[in-house]
Amino acid sequence: MLTKIVFCPDISFSLEGVDCLLDILNVNSENEIFTSVKSYLRHHELEDISFTKHIIFQNSLQKNCLELSMAKLWLLLEEQMYQKKVIDLLIKFYKSEANIFTNTISNSFAINDTDQNVNAIRKFSQFWKLTSEFYPEIVFFENGECIFKMLDFLDNEHPLLRHLSKSWLSQSIYQFNKILDPLLKVLLDRDTTWYITPKNQLFFTKEYDNRRIIEAFRKLKNIIINVTDQAINFFVTNKISKALFDMDDFSKEIGGKRKPIPIEYYLELMVSISLRFIQGKVIIFTILILLIYLY
């Protein structure tokens, strides 16, 4: 009965059904009935849901009740009369089923379809704007999933996609940290480990994912190119988050060897990270050269 309400054509009833579904998921109980219901919602595939033909990304879904419910919510974001209710439920969905929430939105972006991508960018921009108004304290996509896809459109060959992406970026300037932090976390990844010699020479102690690092720098470059004045103003006037500060092991290590460079604002951190990759040498290559010389 609940699934019929969730997927009924009446928007108001449908939203109430999704709300009830999420309430069931959030019940903290080991009762056998609740356990069975939750398992059904997460794993049972539904058939003959009429609206799925409108879901452009349905091939990437397993079509269980939760995934289809999230997909329907994403579609209903276009209904202006119900936008606040839809946003509230999307937040509730994010807190309850973060992976399904993120995957659904990420999968709305097509690989080679301009019309679908135009629609996806517009809807994402709308979601970003509304959640910034209603829930400014919530941070979505901490690993950058959908944000990175939006940034990729900044240098797309299609002018409309570039324009829509740039508009989203410029409108996000007051919460720019939500876009910058995932990029900087890539560059501060603890898999990129360093060694500092007594003479303050910098070596990478193991090979890192250079493709991922270059991609992060490319996205930063595109941000600066597209919203230069806004970006620079943000970099020099906003302090980095505690999460970024805690991840910056390199600054702490080098601070114990010599007078540390103050890392407080985004610009300082970005300059420091850039210099590390410019100055750093791969220790494996250095050892190989030394062995060749010795022999």
Least confident of 60-64, 136-140, 165-169: 60-64
Least confident of 6-15, 93-102, 226-235, 255-264: 255-264
Q: What is the model's pLDDT at position 191? A: 66
Structure tokens at 249: 């092991």
Chain Cα centroid distance, residue 137: 15
Provide, rounded to the nearest whole percent, the portion of the chain with pLDDT above 70: 70
Give whole-number Cα distances, 75 to 49, 99, 123, 158, 284, in Å. 14, 18, 9, 24, 51
Q: Does residue 269 or residue 203 have the better pLDDT? A: 269
pLDDT tens-digit map of 75-95: 899 888 999 999 999 999 999
User: For the chain, which residues make up each domain, given as ranges?
Assistant: 1-107, 109-171, 177-295
- CA atoms of 182 and 146, how far apart (whole Å): 11
Provide, rounded to the nearest whole percent, the portion of the chain with pLDDT above 90: 34
Q: What is the model's pLDDT at position 34? A: 60
pTM for this one?
Answer: 0.81
Q: What is the model's pLDDT at position 256? A: 52
pLDDT tens-digit map of 20-32: 888 887 776 666 6
pLDDT tens-digit map of 281-294: 555 444 333 333 33
- CA atoms of 11 and 89, how far apart (whole Å): 13
How do 202-204 and 194-196 pair as beta strands? antiparallel
- What's the mean pLDDT in 53-71? 65
Q: What is the model's pLDDT at position 58? A: 47
Structure tokens at 189: 């990844």
Q: Average pLDDT of the chain?
A: 79
Residues found in the chain? 295
The amino acid present at 202, given as its one-letter code, is: L
DSSP sequence for 238-266: -BPPHHHHHH-HHHHHHHTTSPPPP--BH
CA atoms within 13 A of residue 180's CA, in its CB half-sphere: 24
Q: What is the model's pLDDT at position 289? A: 35
Residue 280 has pLDDT above 80, yes or no: no
Give whole-number Cα distances, 21 to 27, 36, 89, 92, 252, in Å. 10, 14, 11, 11, 47
Residue 255 has pLDDT above 60, yes or no: no
